[in-house]
Structure 1
Amino acid sequence: MQKFTCFLVLLCIWGCRESNKQSNTNRTKDSIHKEMQDAASDLAGNFSDQRSMRFSSSRIESFFAKYDSLRSFQTDLNTFYTTRSYAFAWYTENGLTEQASNLYARLENLPEEGLNIVLPYKRQLDSLFNITLPQSTDQKSETELLLTSMYFFFAQKVWGGLEESATQKVDWHMPRKKLSYSALLDSMMQPGKVSTAQEPVYRQYNLLKEYLKKYKALPADKVTVFLPNKKPIRPGDTLAMVTSLRKKLFLLGDLPRAGDTSSPIYDSSLLTAVKRFQKRHGMKEDGIAGGSMIRELNVPVQKRIEKIIVNMERNRWLPTDVRGRYLAVNIPEFVLHAYNDDSLLWNMNVVVGKDVNKTVIFAGSISQVVFSPHWNVPPGILKKEVLPGMAKNPNYLETHHMEKYGDGVRQKPGPWNSLGAVKFLFPNSHNIYLHDTPSKSLFKEDKRAFSHGCIRVADPKFLAMYLLRNDSTWTEERIVKAMASGREQYVAIRNPMPVYITYFTAWVDRQGDLNFRDDIYKRDAQLSGLLIKH
């Protein structure tokens, strides 16, 4: 089961990206890592390791008789206290621990976690936690069990996220991380573990959480940018609307210093800010503030907040660490990333499925490279395109370099082939794979959702060389020859490469910048609806 942890996908996308930004506007990798650690460690606290104060095991059943809505955590709670021989965890001889206060504060601030949920038994928790007079034994045991149950509630909602059945509704078909909340709480309480305890969420979660605070603090859409006469704003222009552009980019953090926000001149500092905004939104970094950029600038802050929240939820599903080499495609980003552990090796542009032919979110392992492949026409395309074409034109198959093959039709290898000169297979039930394409011009587009569901790669030769790098017989020269041979050839990869097809529309890159991408498959809206229901 642990094998799936290497899927940690994408985190990939963002976490390890390189940038050419000036160092004085960047946050270093170490500083971002420290922020993540600081944000994740406040539940490490000061747990009680005492064993003299205990309660009767019979208190557990009577507790759940009173707090029935928390009964789903009874098994976890029984496991935890059996291991401790029913010793108090949230109390010392001097009263409640620092850890209890930390948990109480986190429960009080669930909206900071991007959650809009009702805390069960909040009134009772407030009453028991804030008792000023000495507590009776029964009150202490009730407070103890309520705090532990609330810990499990917090862990489930904040660290685990929606149940797996809910994620299937948004077509997330990758393995979810598995957590034992009682084991996690028990490990936090072990001697020597307090200072190193980490929350079991992928680090992107806490980076997005920090931006959630910042965006909630932004003034609500007080600056709107319009294009004068619908003409793009260009470097060197002197226009009244440049002032609004400056103010908006300053509010969003792309213009690092306010400076003279009233200046109508599009100068070099504004050019840097415009390019930074364009990069964060996956646009061509040309410094021209045209219609598409202005539309992104004017997206309501509340919409950005919702996007951050749904991507925090997706990060709850991810394993917290990743090891080894793997590939990750982030569909809304239109990019393939190669990683070794948490280090980015290279990026490559890709084309993904159109909205009507959505690329599936799932994980697999590339096991074969196929040079000069045939293209077996999928049943849907055969029915909708090929058979009608054959009915209208007797020479349709010959014109399209196709031939009948069994009960179907396939396209012959060659420069016309829809799969190009090579494809990369990883067994899956979705009939999805990576491949070359003769339509090279599409890789120059900012938004690249054009395929029937499979993933087209911009540099197939490079990818083939990377996947076959451990086989010395497959030199660059031999690969080029095989791609041009016109003879289909299957080559097994000695070490199959994990590949993860994922879907993230917001993330924080290695420079600390918040990136947004379009929700091309309307997954964000679906997930947002599920979060509201839960």
Structure 2
Amino acid sequence: MKKLVLALVIMLLLFSISAIYGNRKLNSANSVISSGQVFQEPIVSKAILSAFFKKYPYLKDYESEVNALYKNRKYSWIWHDKEGLIEFANLLYSKANRLEEEGLEFNLPYKDEINSIFNGETSKKLSKTDTEILLSSMYVYYAEKVYKGIETEKITETGWFIPRKKLSYANLLDSLLVDSKLLNKNEDQLLGQYYKMREALKKYRRIEQNGGWNTIKMDPFIKDYKPNDSSKVIGQIRKRLTITGDLKKDSKSNWYDEELMAAVLNYKKRNGFRLNYRIESEHLEHLNVPVEERIKTIMVNMERCRWIDPELTKFDEFIVINIPSFKLIYRRNGIKELESRVFVGKIMTETVIFSGNISHIVFSPYWNVPRSIIENELKFAMERDKNYLASHNMEWNNGNVRQKPGPRNSLGLVKFMFPNSNSIYLHDTPVKSLFDTEVRLFSHGCINMDKAKELAILILKDYPDWPVDRIDAAMNGGVETTCYLKKKIPVYIGYFTAWVDDSGMINFYRDVYQRDNRLAELLFEEDFK
């Protein structure tokens, strides 16, 4: 009997040891350790997620992206490891609470509940599952605001048709978890220009905190101020230019000296004014724009940066045209090869904001007059003057009108073709005097450039069959000649009323098409109450 009891005890003991060891193996198999983070057996399911978003309805817009995050991770923990919340959760929380640094004015949904996760508030004690999914929702919210920006449908309302960059919330999260420093600067997701503007925003907010600048009143009996003039207004201008960095220090002198002359030229250059030393009423109006308005302009243009794929800066060569600055920049291998003045569409025929690819260059081009110009302009001109077409080197061509090649051709001596549905070209012009004006809104929508020949030479410098003398001959030969490019060149027509240049100074340009206020309305409307 004793032997039987002893045998039973031994069997039970062996069974217990086996069960314990088996459980340990099971628990070990049910945990996956990656980069120091433990992801346990699935703890979030579709049903749990669905119930969560019913409980937190103001997060409903982020449900599909949050679902995708957990599906990508096989419904395991994202924000927890065996020690509790991972450190990255704290970093993200800190950034989400400082959206104003990113030029944004939004209220974080369920901010009190999220705060309670990090400040230990017991009155709003959340379950581990609610905490987990709240943090995922906070991440998607933050990523949408900072990296994506407002919805595409709303962007097109502002007249912006450059294709949006693609954003994967899951891939972005993977990269951030590997390198949390990307939260501060991630040029794979945002243009380098975005971060330059963010620094400018900090600077102008400091100016605002220090009281901004005073309004400068011009003497009504004085037309302008010139070098060697002396006036209290000169002293006020000196102080104003010191605040924004055009002058290194304020000597408090009321005399318009050489130091102030250099500062005035710098100020005019970065703000799109004609370069001279005269200070007129329009310049004082520009100087008097409140710092709060400048801050809003920076924020609006940071938003525009969010829409552009940073990949565009990685092409071997590309062209950027900024409408408000009336400038074209051609970059090759990361170097600015050419800067040219341009003029663009009038208010009634605005140049469209879009992108394309230059496929060929046409020398001594015909100008095929658009039907709208024939109906709205040429028809009436021909009624008044029977010889109008001949006197303007034009002719009928299969029921349409075209202007023959030559120095008086409206397209000038060369055009750069990037086929598009807007019938917009980049081309030369015979009216060079128009480039001397400040506000250059003259065309029917096309971009007319000052240095068209120089651009053609640069683009074709690696084409042995197109030396400079052949380009000259083709431009002045009077016969339309086409050169097809071996590789298409991206061209981007953008709209930035603020831009930080290579020296780190911010440039403010006229909002010529009055688009900033509409975008500001979309950007600053409160999305959660």
Equivalent residue number for residue 447 of structure 2: 455
Which TM-score applies when normalising by structure 1?
Answer: 0.85
Equivalent residue number for residue 101 of structure 1: 90
Q: Superposed, which structure 2 residues align to 1:220-231 within 5 Å?
A: 222-228=213-219, 229-231=221-223
Equivalent residue number for residue 89 of structure 1: 78
Segment drifting more, 53-62 vs 302-311? 53-62
For residues 417 and 438 of structure 2, the distance between their equivalents in structure 1, rounded to whole angstroms, comes to 26
Equivalent residue number for residue 160 of structure 1: 148
Q: Superposed, which structure 2 residues align to 1:485-504 within 5 Å?
A: 485-504=477-496
- From the superposition, tell whether residues 183 and 76 of structure 1 become closer, same or farther in structure 2 (CA, over 3 Å): farther
Matched, 1:175 2:167: no
Segment drifting more, 367-376 vs 465-474? 465-474
For residues 255 and 104 of structure 1, the distance between their equivalents in structure 2, rounded to whole angstroms, comes to 39
1:80 alignment partner, one of 46, 59, 69: 69
SS in 1 for 2:190: coil
- From the superposition, tell whether residues 49 and 345 of structure 1 become closer, same or farther in structure 2 (CA, over 3 Å): farther
For residues 195 and 396 of structure 1, the distance between their equivalents in structure 2, rounded to whole angstroms, comes to 66
Equivalent residue number for residue 413 of structure 1: 405
Equivalent residue number for residue 110 of structure 2: 121
Equivalent residue number for residue 278 of structure 2: 288
- CA drift of 1:194 comes to 4.2
1:442 alignment partner, one of 419, 434, 448: 434
- Residues 232-276 of structure 1 show CA distances to partners (whole Å, capped at 9, x for unaligned) of 222222212112112211222222223x32x21222322222222
- CA drift of 1:207 comes to 1.8
Q: Do the aligned residues in 2 keep the contact of 1:128 with 1:139 (CA within 8 Å)?
A: no
Equivalent residue number for residue 298 of structure 2: 308
Q: How many residues align?
A: 483
Query: Quick one: which amino acid aligns to residue 97 of structure 1?
Result: I
Matched, 1:268 2:258: yes
- CA drift of 1:140 comes to 2.4
Query: Quick one: which amino acid aligns to residue 501 of structure 2?
Result: D
Q: Do the aligned residues in 1 keep the contact of 2:325 with 2:509 (CA within 8 Å)?
A: yes
Query: Quick one: which amino acid aligns to residue 434 of structure 1?
Result: L
Matched, 1:207 2:187: no
Q: Do the aligned residues in 1 keep the contact of 2:364 with 2:413 (CA within 8 Å)?
A: yes
For residues 42 and 482 of structure 2, the distance between their equivalents in structure 1, rounded to whole angstroms, comes to 66
Query: Quick one: which amino acid aligns to residue 482 of structure 1?
Result: A
Equivalent residue number for residue 336 of structure 1: 328
Point out which structure has higher relative CO (alpha carbons under 8 A, 6+ apart).
Answer: 1
- CA drift of 1:222 comes to 4.3
For residues 398 and 168 of structure 2, the distance between their equivalents in structure 1, rounded to whole angstroms, comes to 51
- Which of 1 and 2 has greater Rg? 2
Query: Quick one: which amino acid aligns to residue 105 of structure 2?
Result: N
Equivalent residue number for residue 17 of structure 1: none
- CA drift of 1:135 comes to 10
Q: Do the aligned residues in 2 keep the contact of 1:48 with 1:89 (CA within 8 Å)?
A: no
Q: Do the aligned residues in 2 keep the contact of 1:100 with 1:147 (CA within 8 Å)?
A: yes
Matched, 1:372 2:364: yes
Q: Do the aligned residues in 1 keep the contact of 2:213 with 2:291 (CA within 8 Å)?
A: no
- From the superposition, tell whether residues 62 and 48 of structure 1 become closer, same or farther in structure 2 (CA, over 3 Å): farther
1:148 alignment partner, one of 128, 132, 136: 136
Matched, 1:510 2:498: no
Q: Do the aligned residues in 2 keep the contact of 1:80 with 1:183 (CA within 8 Å)?
A: no
- CA drift of 1:470 comes to 3.0
- CA drift of 1:221 comes to 5.2
For residues 177 and 36 of structure 2, the distance between their equivalents in structure 1, rounded to whole angstroms, comes to 7
Query: Quick one: which amino acid aligns to residue 281 of structure 1?
Result: N
For residues 406 and 72 of structure 2, the distance between their equivalents in structure 1, rounded to whole angstroms, comes to 66
Q: Which runs of 5+ in 1 are unaligned?
A: 1-46
Q: Do the aligned residues in 1 keep the contact of 2:88 with 2:180 (CA within 8 Å)?
A: no
- CA drift of 1:94 comes to 3.7
Matched, 1:471 2:491: no
For residues 511 and 267 of structure 1, the distance between their equivalents in structure 2, rounded to whole angstroms, comes to 24
Equivalent residue number for residue 18 of structure 2: none
Query: Quick one: which amino acid aligns to residue 492 of structure 1?
Result: Y
Equivalent residue number for residue 520 of structure 1: 512
Query: Quick one: which amino acid aligns to residue 466 of structure 1?
Result: L
Matched residues, percent identical? 41
Which TM-score applies when normalising by structure 2?
Answer: 0.86
For residues 48 and 272 of structure 1, the distance between their equivalents in structure 2, rounded to whole angstroms, comes to 57
Q: Do the aligned residues in 2 keep the contact of 1:419 with 1:438 (CA within 8 Å)?
A: yes
Q: Do the aligned residues in 1 keep the contact of 2:364 with 2:479 (CA within 8 Å)?
A: yes
For residues 242 and 62 of structure 2, the distance between their equivalents in structure 1, rounded to whole angstroms, comes to 47
- CA drift of 1:315 comes to 0.4
SS in 2 for 1:365: strand
Equivalent residue number for residue 36 of structure 1: none
Q: Do the aligned residues in 1 keep the contact of 2:43 with 2:77 (CA within 8 Å)?
A: yes
TM-align CA RMSD: 2.3
Q: Do the aligned residues in 1 keep the contact of 2:317 with 2:331 (CA within 8 Å)?
A: yes
For residues 393 and 285 of structure 1, the distance between their equivalents in structure 2, rounded to whole angstroms, comes to 41
Q: Do the aligned residues in 2 keep the contact of 1:227 with 1:233 (CA within 8 Å)?
A: no
Equivalent residue number for residue 174 of structure 2: 186
For residues 235 and 36 of structure 2, the distance between their equivalents in structure 1, rounded to whole angstroms, comes to 57
Segment drifting more, 158-167 vs 108-117? 108-117
- CA drift of 1:455 comes to 0.9
- CA drift of 1:73 comes to 2.6
- CA drift of 1:426 comes to 1.1
Equivalent residue number for residue 12 of structure 2: none
